Amino acid sequence: MTITKIAGRWGRTVAGLAALCCLALSPTARAEPLPALQPYGQAAHLMVDGRPFLIRGGELGNSSASDLDYLAPHWEAFQALHLNTVLAPVYWELLEPQEGRFDFALVDGLIAQARANDMRLVLLWFGSWKNSMSSYAPVWVKRDTDRFPRARSATGEAQEILSPFSSENLQADRRAFVALMRHLARVDAEARTVIMIQVENEIGMLPDARDHAPAATAAWAEAVPAELIAAVEAAPGAPAHALWRAAGGRTSGDWSAVFGTGKAAEEVFMAWSFACYVEAIASAGKTEYPLPMFVNAALNRPGAEPGGYPSAGPLPHLFEVWKAGAPSIDLLAPDIYFPNFVERISPFRRADNPLFIPEANQAGREEAVADALFAIGRLDAIGFSPFSIESIERPESHLLGKLYARLAGMDQLILAHQGQGTMTGLRPPVSNEGEVDAAAQTVDMGGYRFTFSFIDPWTPRDRQKVETHGGLLIQLAPDEFLVLGTGVTLTFAPASGQGRVGIESAWEGDYVDGVWTPGRLLNGDQTHQGRHVRLPPGEVGVQRVRLYAYD
C-alpha cells in the first residue's frame, strides 16, 4: 500500500474526529473561540478573540528566528512599521534535534518576544519541505536515507527532498508537528499569540515533474482515488478537469489512464501525494490545537513546464487537487515575487479560498503599499506580509509603515466592507516583464463613476514611480465615500452618464481607534477648485468625500 492511500484515508478520519474533539474539549477556558476563518458576505474573515482581524504582517528572513538575541532588537522596527503580526519559522531541526526529544525554548522565546511587543504570530512549520528541499529536516532524518527515503529524479538520482511516498517520512514529520501543536495548546490557548500556522513551506517537486523513487513509481501504477476523480469531474473549467477530459474522462484507472502520460499528469499525481501528506500532518495537528492552517505556493515561471519550476505545489491550476487532498488546510496562499501582482494574485481569491499573502516580495519594495491596497480592497485579503521584514531600512519613514499606521486605526471599517460590494482597491497593473500600465481606471459605486488616475498632476512625471501608486475606495453612505491611498487622483461623473457631479466636501483626516478625526477641509488649490480629489505620492492619505449630482 502506498503512503498516498494511508495519508488520504487517515487524514479524513482524523479530520472528522478533530471536529468532534473541538466541540467536546476546548483547550481554553476563554469564552471567545480560537482563531478561525468565518464566512462574511462574499468574503471570509480571520476571527481572533471573537473579532475580525486584518493581518498587518511581515515575514522574518529564514534564519532570524533561530537566535532570540539576534531577533530581539528588531521588534522596535516592527513597532515602527505598525505590524500587528510577525510570520516566523519553527525549524524542525532545532525543535527535535534528537528523535523524540523536543526543545521548545525557541518557540517559547518567540512567543514571549511577540507578547512583550503586543503582536501576534503566524508560525511557519519548516518540516519535511522548505522551498521544495528538505534542508530543515533534523540531522537524524537527513543522514538515515534508508529509513527516510529521498525523492529521485527520472535518472534515479536521490534529491535533497524527502519522498512524500514514505510513511516513515510522514510519521516523523507528523510526530514533530503534533508535539508543536500540543505545546501551543498548553502555552498559548489563553493568550492566543499564535493565530495561524503555515504547514511546510513552498512544497514543490524538482527537477522532474514527479518523484521516481521506487515507491513513487509503484504508486503511479495504482488506481487514482475516486474522491480525486470526483473532485476533478465536478470542476469544469479547471485545468485538471481539462487534462482529465483530454485523457478520456475515465472514472477509474491508474494515473496514466486517468490523466495521461505527460508532465501535467505527473504534476497532478504529485500534487495529490503532497496534499495527502500535508493533510495527515495538518489534521493530526488540529486534533491537538485547531488553529487555521494554510500552505504557500512558489509561483510557476510563465512558460515553464512541470519539473522546470517547483511543481505540484498549491498553485491555481492544481487547486481542485489540493482542496480534495487536504481538506484540513483552510487556504492556499501565494508567495509573490513576480512583478505582475494583479494577474498572479487574483486567481488565489475564490469563493472557497480566502486570500492571504504570506510573502509579498521582499520587504522594502515601494510597490508594497499599492499591492496591499489592491489585495485588501479588491480581493478581500485577510492579510498582507512582505518577506524579510527585519531587513527594511528606515522603518519609521517607510511607506509600508505609513499604510499600516492608517490601517491600524481603520481595520474594522475595512473588514466590515469586505465581501459586501461597497469597497474596491485599485493599482496600475504591471506585466511579467515589468511594463506598467499607467492608464486611468474607472469604477462605479453608489451611482457615481470614479476615475482613478495614477499619474499625479502636480509632480514631474520623471519623479513618479507610477507602479507604487494605488488606492482603496469605500462607500460609507449615500453620496459619501472614503479614499485611502498614495499617488492617486480621482475625478467624478454620474454612473448613468447623465448630468455632472460636484464635490460637496473633501476632508482629510485619520481614524484613531476606529473613530474619524477630521483634519483640514480641502478645497481651492487642494481640489483643483472642486475638480478632483488628490492623494499625493510619497505619503498615504485618507479623505472623506461627499459628492452631489447636478445638471
- Rounded CA separation 28/33 (Å): 9
> According to CB under 6 A, which one of 136, 277, 387, 450 is a site residue for ligand DGJ?
387
Amino acid at 224: V
Contact 293, 326 (CB under 8 A): no
- Rounded CA separation 370/325 (Å): 34
Contact between 93 and ligand DGJ (CB under 6 A)?
Answer: no
Contact 148, 166 (CB under 8 A): yes
- In the bound complex, what is the minimum distance in angstroms from residue 171's beta carbon to ligand DGJ? 25
- Closest CB to ligand DGJ among 62 and 418? 62
For the window 156-195, what string marks contact with ligand DGJ as x by the rule CB under 6 A?
----------------------------------------
Q: Rounded to whole angstroms, what are the CA distances from 150 to 98, 133, 145, 213, 281? A: 20, 10, 7, 7, 18
Q: Which residue is nearest to ligand DGJ (CB)?
A: 202
**Residue 131, all three cell numbers:** 522551498
328: Cα separation from own chain's centroid? 16
- In the bound complex, what is the minimum distance in angstroms from residue 296's beta carbon to ligand DGJ? 6
- Closest CB to ligand DGJ among 35 and 334? 334
Site for ligand DGJ in 239-298 (CB under 6 A): none
| Cα torsion angle, 467, 480, 519, 55, sign | negative
Total residues at interface with ligand DGJ (CB under 6 A): 7
- Closest CB to ligand DGJ among 4 and 128? 128
Contact 46, 37 (CB under 8 A): yes
Q: Map residue 501 onto helix, strand or coil.
A: strand
- In the bound complex, what is the minimum distance in angstroms from residue 309's beta carbon to ligand DGJ? 13
> According to CB under 6 A, which one of 4, 201, 418, 468 is a site residue for ligand DGJ?
201
- Closest CB to ligand DGJ among 163 and 201? 201
Please give the sequence-ordered ranges of beta strands (E in DSSP) within 62-174, or none if there are none.
85-91, 120-130, 150-152, 158-162
**Residue 283, all three cell numbers:** 489534521
> According to CB under 6 A, which one of 96, 173, 288, 335 is a site residue for ligand DGJ?
335
Site for ligand DGJ in 413-452 (CB under 6 A): none
- In the bound complex, what is the minimum distance in angstroms from residue 91's beta carbon to ligand DGJ? 12
**Residue 370, all three cell numbers:** 499599492
Q: Choose among 85, 110, 81: nearest CA to 95.
A: 110
> According to CB under 6 A, which one of 96, 173, 188, 202 is a site residue for ligand DGJ?
202
- Closest CB to ligand DGJ among 330 and 335? 335
- Closest CB to ligand DGJ among 91 and 492? 91
- In the bound complex, what is the minimum distance in angstroms from residue 99's beta carbon to ligand DGJ? 25
Q: Which residues of this chain interact with ligand DGJ, rule CB under 6 A?
A: 62, 131, 201-202, 335, 359, 387
